[in-house]
Structure 1
């Protein structure tokens, strides 16, 4: 036997040497090959799919879960756009009440006429006043006042019918930049909230992240009505914006992991529709309530019943299993089945076991080290950026052409609800990828039309913008669903947070370009970006009727093998026997034996490894 083995490795036999090299190469790449096979098996056999079928695809438990997201989404729509209604423009004039000391019976018009200088067109100047003098009223009327200066005692707003932030904190006459600061602060809250709550949701769970975001929204959303300075208002809005994006990420991750198939798409789409209901709710309140503080009080009042979510909101069983909490996951699944009047077979529950791979302990660094995951995140970010940039460009354009803010928000709200409902039909019939391509293509046609009618009739512009808003609302809904399904459970919320960063960046860029660029430039950039998004989105896999990924084992092909990866290939009974004082040769043999034990019973592979092992034994014979 030894002679036969030695004859196989003699230098004179080229074919035999090639076979040995191929065997050695196959052993080196065996770990990667086994990982690939295991990924295919995991994708073919999602353990949660049969369990969710046994629990009930869309029973009472799932319907209740989806309904729990409706009220917070209405509140989110309210708090996200409320700043547009509390900054209503007011025409200020300098406070010149000093003249009432010498003429207490003067009317408001007479007071302004005597104490305010006029513009060349005859209107009163808004930021300058005549300096006070120690004359009597008759002398002031006879000789008039000559010396002017900036406002000394604040401002008055004679024509104001509403109490807004403008006349509450005097954001006029050189203080208009504070309004830009408010927008910047709110966007900064969105950016930090994306990252922070994404990490919290993946590390601590969907349940605590959702409750924390609702708590922050209750304190800093409703509490905004009681601030006594503009800086404090900025701080409260910063915290509220973090909570808004945090709830969107954690709640959608929870719904995604509890529902399956078409029910998942229906639940997420309906939740987005109630976000538009919140915008309509805000518009109605803002139109009927004349004081900004009262607006925050009434609009934020529904956050208090959400305290009951502590007892009725469930955790994600997928997340529990990935964190090794299998017992809690089984109890939760049994409870859900009981609510649905179903029973889970014990054989299915027994299939839920602790994850064997250390890749379940993922971190945000995997978005850099795992090249496949990194590339997918970059592609998703490009499409999210495009969608957000186009959406806010159309909104700002509608504002620039002079459409009333109340009409603008009502039109957008009414257009977006049917747009999102149409997505139910699209994603069921043609899938996520083709639905996304169709909505992006429709948006590109809208941008092309807008490039040729930048100065066209106002009614035509409004109609085309409404069509564009319809397309982009559908795009956002489909893509949110697609993104949530593509990321693995261990990094789903963090991934949603990272791609949302690009969405916020698109919103910021749209405001900057419209302010500083020609009228045709924003639409041209929208057209270019949406064409890029069409190309990038074609690289994404289809997720309709596909099981959700749970761990990073689904992204193995471009991940480098490390020492931890090699140690993961060794069964526990072998690794426990290996100690620090074992020789390198013994360790190599133990690893080789462990790999052989883990091989599938494929005839060719088994024969090749047997021959390879025989060669190793023959080399050690004297």
Structure 2
């Protein structure tokens, strides 16, 4: 008996019903991008002089005498305290002397006692000797108008690495959340997984901004990422099940655009608040709106069929046919055909194992190159966005929007290559080699270019590579499984994404290499992009629109290869 995909025949490749569903699911990317990129605004790099060393408890007790609050005394005499306490260091880049706010003179407090006990405008005070021992400061006072996690958790100097650590736990949550979602989807319908993710994200997201302990902050940030991953992983399963053909290719590729839309909105949203905790509330509460939109998002009819919920699947198919004006395609024996498709799904052969990916013509080359390319491009994609913090705090909002717009341009370039080029992998690789080569120019910009003009040049140089990386990631997202046969697509998607997500955990620490030089992170990511470009040039697959449509395939040959796209 011929196997018929009745679901694909009724829903069609794309229609008004699918458009409504896809756009609503796309919205789940916006809060996900907010939680990922909010570190740009909740932990802005401190400006010169916004923090300085805090006196020890002993000197506080000795000098306050119960009459004056020592912190107020210090802040009122900020310049004097800094000169007494902090040494000067020579900057290698411009040979100028700047205050070293991370270290103090070992005898600084002795000089402070003399100065503040006898303080008057006429009293001379002794500067600590230049050969005094210099030691690290243990804790700091922050003199910033903006309340960030840096000021609340003292994340400066040796503790600056903890900023990257918060981002690490977010990414760990994304990885974990995807794996949890995939396993939940074996037993719980995609729509319910989406709802659970939304409710939990609202709760965990608000707590992330309210806790007063660094450990609890990273814990709830990780849980928030788990919830975000569940929302869009389940959503992807739904829209990939109700679309097919070229429209499905476009939908999958453009899903990332709403990530960039969220990044564009974030600076404007953050500008209304002067505290990082309020930002977390602002990015958590809009998910309430998404809960109300669930009434217009259908469950996955294929998932329902697989789990013997025939009647629910039938209702969804009838609704789609009516909305798309395809009522005439509903057969009289719909119940019988759905029952038969359920039997066919259950009798389908088991998915191919992981080792099968490495068997066949060009298999080893393709698998090695595509796994490495995934890990490189996902690290550089997010790493370059997070590295925006190093360009200029005064232009943080504008630079973030520009980076997001470059991502959008890159995805559209990737989509054009997918739809119209038979050599998409080669052109993608060349684009990245060129873009990364341009990024190296940050080291040789003339010093005569200063101020806003310098920031504009730096951004222009860096964003060429950003566009190239975004275009390649779009191609990897959409076309990775073209490298293998149909029965291997699901395991190929799972393998590449899990591998990439594990390496993504390193992205925050690539940015942390800024301690070795302002442009070290960008240089590192440009070098990775060149390596990635060479790897993608070694890949080859047929033109995307020449592959068979899912609706024409029997169920066992049309696995949901995109459910795992963004674990």
Range class of TM-score, shorter chain: 0.7 to 0.9
**Which residue in 1 is equivalent to 2:278?**
294
Take 1:114 and 1:80, find their aligned partners in 2: how far apart are those partners? 38
Contact 2:5 2:555 in 1 (8 A): no
* TM-score normalised by structure 1 residue count: 0.68
**Which residue in 2 is equivalent to 1:210?**
194
- Offset, 1:495: 6.0
Aligned pairs for 1:36-435 (under 5 A) are 46-53=5-12, 57-59=14-16, 61-90=17-46, 91-96=50-55, 99-100=63-64, 101=66, 108-110=75-77, 113=80, 116-120=84-88, 123=99, 125=101, 128=104, 130=109, 139=118, 155-158=140-143, 160-172=144-156, 174-343=158-327, 344-346=329-331, 349=334, 350-352=336-338, 353=340, 354-356=342-344, 360=348, 366-368=353-355, 380-392=370-382, 394-395=384-385, 404-422=395-413, 425-430=416-421, 434-435=423-424
* TM-score normalised by structure 2 residue count: 0.74
**Which residue in 2 is equivalent to 1:5?**
none
- Offset, 1:508: 4.2
Take 2:168 and 2:521, find their aligned partners in 1: how far apart are those partners? 23
Deviations 1:94-153 (A, max 9, x none): 44565455667968343662585242468585555626999996546668698998768x
Take 1:491 and 1:250, find their aligned partners in 2: how far apart are those partners? 21
- Offset, 1:73: 1.7
Unmatched tracts of structure 1, length 5 or more: 1-37, 556-622
- Offset, 1:464: 3.8
- Offset, 1:497: 5.0
Take 1:66 and 1:177, find their aligned partners in 2: how far apart are those partners? 39
Take 2:254 and 2:184, find their aligned partners in 1: how far apart are those partners? 25
SS at match of 1:259: coil
- Offset, 1:341: 3.9
- Offset, 1:65: 0.4
Is 1:500–2:507 an aligned residue pair?
no
Take 1:227 and 1:491, find their aligned partners in 2: how far apart are those partners? 45
- Offset, 1:337: 1.6
Is 1:530–2:504 an aligned residue pair?
no
Q: Which has the larger Rg?
A: 1
Structure 1 window deviating more from structure 2 (285-294 vs 95-104): it is 95-104
Indicate how the Cα distance of structure 1 residues 424 and 58 shifts in structure 2: closer, same or farther if over 3 A, else same.
Answer: farther
SS at match of 2:151: helix
Deviations 1:49-78 (A, max 9, x none): 32223xx8312x212201212332221111
Contact 2:193 2:230 in 1 (8 A): yes
Take 2:98 and 2:433, find their aligned partners in 1: how far apart are those partners? 48
Structure 1 window deviating more from structure 2 (394-403 vs 192-201): it is 394-403
**Which residue in 1 is equivalent to 2:549?**
547
- Offset, 1:268: 3.4
Q: What's the C-alpha RMSD, in Å, of the aligned pairs?
A: 4.2
| Structure with bigger RCO (C-alpha 8 Å, 6+ apart) | 2
- Offset, 1:229: 1.1
Indicate how the Cα distance of structure 1 residues 366 and 422 shifts in structure 2: closer, same or farther if over 3 A, else same.
Answer: same
- Offset, 1:411: 0.9
Indicate how the Cα distance of structure 1 residues 295 and 246 shifts in structure 2: closer, same or farther if over 3 A, else same.
Answer: same
SS at match of 1:93: strand
Say how many residue pairs are matched.
505
Structure 1 window deviating more from structure 2 (115-124 vs 216-225): it is 115-124
Take 1:474 and 1:519, find their aligned partners in 2: how far apart are those partners? 18
Take 1:367 and 1:552, find their aligned partners in 2: how far apart are those partners? 18
